[in-house]
């Protein structure tokens, strides 16, 4: 058996290639599918099945394009009601790829249609691909099925049964391979480890401790952050299948063309790192750097209806920005600024700046500055700059009135990435005298 995990760090997403005797299956593919085609060619295998453990909400899958390029069958749980040609499976159904058997386990709870897959080799269950039902150190959120007629409490009760009646009934030695790792919004406390065993999770996973169904439901439905705004959109794109990435190439725009788009309401998305953005950027632009969790933050802070103009370090950076936006379903890119910020300045158009200060300067000026901490509440509660107010980045656009404008404002996060994005949003909404704190709270605490 050939088994390989593909891990996409910016979305904390794991997909899988399983092959045997010239045949293969791909599980939970990311939108850009060339790596799976390359793997199949290198292993001299034909992809027969493209399996989705559920309708993913946090990224757009490449199942449709991969099927068109390989002739493979797309596989969903029957409850998904997918709207493209597919094989609908139920509990106990089996697929064969060479000498490997893949057996479906219906494990609803994260979503109604969630399927875990047993990987059976030489008659033994070696692995289970758990999708978003069971993570390493965590389990899937029960509140992402919103519009499909279930309450989070109903979903959490289903999840309890799936975990205890299906997954925890497996042998302790069975390997656990989930669809996400640390940083995904699909769980609360996912480990940085990318695989484990049933036995290790039985002992170490907080959500698998012995407890009643009622206690589990209460725990899993308390203190849930609102899901990112793009989640419902992505689930529906995945239900019908996304178009090919080749259809989404962005064209180069002159500075004058960019200005025309902006005057018509386009949003300028600057994907450079914070220091470069601070040194000079297009007025009103939003800074979400390619160096962090770019796609998920773009999906959280931008609307799918926004026409987007990309500002990047060169054409290659712009193309990467467009591709990574497509991974979360943001496809409305009008183009990119050819020549970048220099071209805008050379055309005689104005630039804004965002001053950067270090933590030493922040300490020295605390009396004259208000401090805005844009980390998540749990991060803030674990330690923060004295007197800092907390408005997490994901809710900042809706809570601008909570930000004190009485003094110049220093914005801080853990490292300086989210704070630069937050400062750009504040500047776009008319805030002045802003400072981005480089190094973030990590540097402040040190």
User: What are the C-alpha distances in Å from 91 to residues 76, 106, 179, 191, 261?
Assistant: 12, 5, 19, 28, 51
**Mean per-residue pLDDT for 300-313?**
94
Residue 269, helix vs strand vs coil = strand
Percent of the chain with pLDDT over 70: 99
Would you say residue 122 has pLDDT above 90? yes
Three-state DSSP at 240 gives helix
Burial state string for 195-234 with b = 16 or more CB within 10 A and e = fewer than 16: ebbbebbbeebebbeeeeeeebbeebbeeeeebbebbbbb
pLDDT band of 148, cuts 50, 70, 90: confident
Which of 406, 407, 370, 415 minimizes the C-alpha distance to 390?
Answer: 370
Quick one: average pLDDT of 118-147? 92
- Per-residue pLDDT tens over the stretch 258-299: 999 999 999 999 999 999 999 999 999 999 999 888 999 999
pTM here is 0.90
E-strand stretches of 221-353: 252-253, 267-270, 286-287, 308-311, 333-337
Q: What burial letters (b/e) apply to 20-38, b meaning 16+ CB within 10 Å?
A: beebbbbbbbbbebebbee
Contact 281, 352 (CB under 8 A): yes
Q: CA-to-CA distance for 365 and 356, rounded, in angstroms? A: 13
Instruction: Identify the three-state secondary structure at position 421.
Output: helix
Q: Which pLDDT score, from 0 to 100, does residue 145 have?
A: 63
Which pLDDT value is given to residue 10?
87
For residue 118, the model assigns a pLDDT of: 98
**How does pLDDT run across 17-32, given as a tens digit for each residue?**
999 999 999 999 999 9
Average model confidence (pLDDT) for the chain? Answer: 95
DSSP string, 199-213: HHHHHH-GGGSS--H
Q: Give the Cα separation of 182 and 188 in Å (integer).
A: 9
- In order of their start, the domains of the chain are 2-239 (3.60.15.10), 249-346 (3.40.250.10), 356-445 (3.40.250.10)
Q: How far apart are the first and last CA of the chain?
A: 48
- Residue found under tokens 């689930």: 235
**Which class for 409: exposed (0-12), middle (13-18), buried (19 or more C-beta within 10 A)?**
buried
What pairing do the DSSP bridges indicate for beta strands 73-77 and 87-89? parallel
Average pLDDT on 75-81 reads 94
Query: Which pair of tokens denotes residue 28?
Result: 């939970």
């Amino acid at each position: 058996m050939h088994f390989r995990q593909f891990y996409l760090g910016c979305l904390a997403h794991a997909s899988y290639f399983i092959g045997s005797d010239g045949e293969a299956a791909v599980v939970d593919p990311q939108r850009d599918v060339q790596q799976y085609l390359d793997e199949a060619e290198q292993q001299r295998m034909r992809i027969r099945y493209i399996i989705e453990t559920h309708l993913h909400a946090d990224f757009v899958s490449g199942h449709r394009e991969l099927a068109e390029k390989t002739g493979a069958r797309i596989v969903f749980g029957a409850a998904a009601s997918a709207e493209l040609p597919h094989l609908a499976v139920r509990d106990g159904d089996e697929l064969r790829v060479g000498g490997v058997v893949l057996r479906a386990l219906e494990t609803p709870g994260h979503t109604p249609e969630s399927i875990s897959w047993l990987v059976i080799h030489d008659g033994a269950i070696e692995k289970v691909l758990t999708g978003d039902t069971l993570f390493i150190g965590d389990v899937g959120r029960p509140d992402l099925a919103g519009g499909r007629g279930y309450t989070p409490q109903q979903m959490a009760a289903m999840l309890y049964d799936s975990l205890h009646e299906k997954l925890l009934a497996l042998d302790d030695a069975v390997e656990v391979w989930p669809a996400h790792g640390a940083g995904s919004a699909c769980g609360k406390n996912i480990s940085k480890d990318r695989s484990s065993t049933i036995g290790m999770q039985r002992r170490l996973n907080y959500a698998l401790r012995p407890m009643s169904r009622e206690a589990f439901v209460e725990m899993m439905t308390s203190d849930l952050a609102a899901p990112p705004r793009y989640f419902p959109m992505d689930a529906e794109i995945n239900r019908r299948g996304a178009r090919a990435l080749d259809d989404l190439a962005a064209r180069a725009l002159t500075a004058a063309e960019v200005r025309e788009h902006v005057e018509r309401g386009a949003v300028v998305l600057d994907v450079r790192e914070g220091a470069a953005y601070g040194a000079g950027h297009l007025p009103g632009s939003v800074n979400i750097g390619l160096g962090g969790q770019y796609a998920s933050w773009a999906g959280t802070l931008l609307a799918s209806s926004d026409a987007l103009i990309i500002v990047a370090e060169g054409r290659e950076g712009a193309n990467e920005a467009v591709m990574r936006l497509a991974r979360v379903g943001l496809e409305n890119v009008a183009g990119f600024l050819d020549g970048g910020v220099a071209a805008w300045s050379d055309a005689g158009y104005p630039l804004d700046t965002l001053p950067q200060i270090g933590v030493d300067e922040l300490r020295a000026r605390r009396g004259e500055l208000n401090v805005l901490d844009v980390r998540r509440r749990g991060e803030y509660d674990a330690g923060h700059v004295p007197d800092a107010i907390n408005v997490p980045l994901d809710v900042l656009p809706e809570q601008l009135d909570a930000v004190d404008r009485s003094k110049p404002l220093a914005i801080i996060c853990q490292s300086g990435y989210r704070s630069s994005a937050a400062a750009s949003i504040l500047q776009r909404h008319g805030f002045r005298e802003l400072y981005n704190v480089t190094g973030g709270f990590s540097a402040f605490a040190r």
